[in-house]
Amino acid sequence: MMPAIGLDIGSMTTKAVVVEGASVRARVMIPTGSVPRRAAGQAYREALRQAGLQGEPPAVVTGYGRLDVPFAARRVTEITCHAVGARFLFPEARTVVDVGGQDSKVIRLSTDGRVLDFVMNDRCAAGTGRFLEVMAAALGLSLEELGPASARATRELTISSLCTVFAESEVISNLAAGEAREDIVAALHRAIARRVHGLASRVGLEPEVVFTGGVALNAGVVRELERLVGRRLLVPAEPQFTGALGAALLAETGGTP
């Protein structure tokens, strides 16, 4: 097969993946910024450079910014691309939970990988990567520090709101009251896990469950969601690239999931 490229234009980051056969030849992730088409062009060119490819192979594009990419050969929904990417990584996958920069989705798959049902929350950033960024800043921590911090929690607190403004206020109030940062982070992770689990209950969680998107890099959220689900989640090594991977696989097969 000829190399193929997929792009996932997210609200916060743009990802590009080049595949050839069963191998990933390049991965690129850059900030989307205010002009998605510009980020798409940059990611496309850099992915081709890393893969050592000449010319301009057609790209399948997904994500919220897919309509703003003039060079796209095809535009495919995030639901389809995440389903294809997750099944490539984990052929046994029956449910895909994706929590990205500003939205979350749960997709239920048939035994042969077709999308049976899905639910998506793209109206509120609660519990997403952007939410965690704001909470980390309020706590004086980096995003990378959140997962390890929650593992050191010793006291169970409750964050009652996942509205970014109200949750930030709760975090500041807890800090002022002398609560440990680790305990506050763990409370945030539990709140996010409850929200995602509630979303998933609308379509059902059929094992095996794959957790994708940038938030899947947070071990604290993974741990709390596993506790609610009652089983281990399958997390890709680079979960934020799943949608772009699915787009690249669709480009390679001519659009057949």
Check residue 77 and give its pLDDT.
96
- Contact of 24 with 85, CB cutoff 8 Å: no
Instruction: Find the mean pLDDT for residues 131-143.
Output: 96
Distance between CA atoms of 78 and 121, rounded to whole angstroms? 13
Check residue 122 and give its pLDDT.
67
Q: Is the pLDDT of residue 256 over 80?
A: no
Phi, psi for 127 (deg, rounded to 5): 80, 5
- Contact of 69 with 16, CB cutoff 8 Å: no
Share of the chain above pLDDT 70, in %: 98
Check residue 102 and give its pLDDT.
87
pLDDT digits (tens, 9 = 90+) for 87-118: 999 999 999 999 998 899 999 999 999 999 99
pLDDT digits (tens, 9 = 90+) for 219-243: 999 999 999 999 999 999 999 999 9
Distance between CA atoms of 230 and 146, rounded to whole angstroms? 23
Distance between CA atoms of 2 and 48, rounded to whole angstroms? 13
CA distances in angstroms from 169 to 24, 72, 90, 138, listed in the order given: 43, 42, 40, 9
pLDDT digits (tens, 9 = 90+) for 167-179: 999 999 999 999 9
pLDDT digits (tens, 9 = 90+) for 11-58: 899 999 999 988 999 999 999 999 999 999 999 999 999 999 988 899
Q: Which domains does the chain have, with CATH numbers?
A: 1-90+240-257 (3.30.420.40), 92-235 (3.30.420.40)
Say how many CA atoms lie within 13 Å of 129 toward its Cβ: 19
User: Which is it for the CA torsion 184, 187, 192, 193, positive or negative?
Assistant: positive
pTM metric for this prediction: 0.94
- Contact of 226 with 233, CB cutoff 8 Å: yes
According to DSSP, the β-strands at 23-31 and 104-109 are: unpaired
Check residue 255 and give its pLDDT.
63
